[in-house]
Amino acid sequence: MKKIYQLFNLTIIVSVLFLVGITSPVLAQTATPTSSDTTSAIKGIRDVVKEKVKEQLDVLKTDSKRGYTGKIIEISDSLIKIETNEGTIDIIIDEDTDIIGLNRSPIKAEDLKTNQYIISMGYSESENTLKGKRIVVIEKPSRFEKEVAVGKITDISKDNKLFTLKNEGKAKVSSLSIAKNISITQKTEKGEMEKLEISDLQKGDIVIAVGTPDKTDSKILNVYMIHLLSKSLGLPTPKTSASPASN
């Protein structure tokens, strides 16, 4: 919306400049004895309008600045394709594109290789195209490994910091380490999302847990979000009545 407003402003300014350019010869032809003053004033207006056009173009150019991090999947003389979290991005390069290697020294485009990771900065030409101004080769970034566990809560530690989750269908048991700032939700009968406390969960509840594998123990999932799918009925375990003693 902001860019549309800026383009609208630019259109108005260019229109004013065009009109001033058309009317100035007419004013010069029908000028009074003070025509030199009128011509000078018109020139001043045109200079101001030109400056405003330049300012608007600079603003639009600033707004189109973008940056991407991704893996090189294709290289040509004038184009680099990278794979990012947002999809495939085409980076247009030329002799004005600065390329920095891993050792932080300038390199040439032909020194780049597929499967290298880069940070590319420049101006957005379109949704998936970037006019590259600066490219920096980086080490392969560590990925944020997100894991989802679905199942029934079978055990809860006394301090509510460790849950055991069992997925009957996959015969999988997960240990959930609960983060301090964990988000717990459930959907109400009206279809609205409702926040819960960790104390609201109990054995038998079926939940979806989202987290990251623990660095020291891959069997533990460090959970930062839980969504309650269905609540345990909380019915007491039925007791077996004693058989009457036979005489």
Rounded to the nearest integer, the mean pLDDT of the chain is 76
What burial letters (b/e) apply to 75-95, b meaning 16+ CB within 10 Å?
Answer: beeeebbbbeeeeebbbebee
Domains 65-138 and 147-230 share a fold: yes
Of residues 3, 31, 121, the one with CA closest to residue 70: 121
pLDDT tens, 26-77?
444 444 555 566 666 666 677 776 676 665 555 444 446 788 888 999 999 8
CATH architecture of 147-230: Beta Barrel (2.40)
Using alpha carbons, list the distances in angstroms from residue 54 to 59, 90, 133, 196: 9, 28, 21, 54
pLDDT tens, 168-221?
776 778 899 998 889 999 988 888 889 999 999 999 999 998 888 887 887 888
DSSP state letter for 30: T
DSSP H or E stretch at residue 2: helix 2-29
Using alpha carbons, list the distances in angstroms from residue 118 to 15, 100, 115, 122, 132: 42, 9, 10, 13, 12
What burial letters (b/e) apply to 188-214, b meaning 16+ CB within 10 Å?
Answer: eeeeeeeeeeeeebeeebbbebbbeee
Q: Which CATH number fits domain 65-138: 2.40.50.140, 3.30.1300.10, 3.40.50.300, 3.90.550.10?
A: 2.40.50.140
- Return the domain boundaries, the chain: 2-63, 65-138, 147-230
Residues 6+ apart with CB under 8 A from 198: 160, 178, 182, 184
CA atoms within 13 A on the CB side of 5: 3
Quick one: pLDDT band at residue 98, thresholds 50, 70, 90?
very high
pLDDT at 79: 95
pLDDT at 64: 67
